[in-house]
Amino acid sequence: MRAEDTDADAWLDQLLAELARLDAARPAEIRGCAEREVREILAECPFGAPPEAYVAFMRKAGRGAGNLFRGSNFYYPDCLGLWSYAQECQQQEDENVPLGDRFFFGHHQGYMLYFFKPEDERVWLYTLEGDGEEAVAPSFQAFVAEHVAIPERFWARFRERDEKNRRQ
């Protein structure tokens, strides 16, 4: 096992424990990708590989993690085909969408595109018809931490809404 794998595993264990503490994701709601699915995701990367923390996350929680990333498309299979989606956005909505060697791994409601660049741990964002691409987090771990660090009352509201929707 590589050292970065151990680091990623430790980070993921802490993340999943925090999601459980917040009731943001229950064990049954955390579903990882099969190795075949991870290979499918990685096959879309136009350069070597995305950051290891992202790959480790997809292995452990890439099919869902409760309310984490609620309202966004980051999970398998929604994470597939995003380079083509970005190309479509460039052709139809915003000619400035950066393509090239970007690895698009998610989007928020179709207008915020998240990606990695080669040999760069940072998470990048492009907002359609916005001000260009910008680094929004120094790493995938920091990106996830920002999404987890919302006030605890919001996690409780998300859970209440989920339970209400199940009863209806």
Rounded Cα distance, 15 and 87, in Å: 33
Number of domains in the chain: 1
Rounded Cα distance, 75 and 72, in Å: 9
In-domain check, residue 34: yes
- 51 contacts 139 by C-beta, under 8 angstroms: yes
Whether the predicted pLDDT of 61 surpasses 90: yes
pLDDT tens-digit map of 91-105: 999 999 999 999 999
pLDDT of residue 2: 36
In-domain check, residue 163: no
In-domain check, residue 40: yes
Strands 134-137 and 123-127 come out as: antiparallel
Whether the predicted pLDDT of 39 surpasses 50: yes
Cα 132 to the chain's mean position, in Å?
20
pLDDT interval class at 6 (50, 70, 90): low
C-alpha Rg value of the chain to the nearest Å: 16
Taking the model in full, what pTM does it have? 0.91
Q: Which domain holds residue 140?
A: 3-154
In-domain check, residue 131: yes
In-domain check, residue 160: no
CATH number where 45 lies: 3.40.1580.10
- 46 contacts 103 by C-beta, under 8 angstroms: yes
Short-list 108, 87, 83, CA closest to 97: 87
In-domain check, residue 105: yes
Whether the predicted pLDDT of 3 surpasses 50: no
In-domain check, residue 159: no
pLDDT tens-digit map of 119-138: 999 999 999 998 899 999 99
In-domain check, residue 164: no
- 5 contacts 56 by C-beta, under 8 angstroms: yes
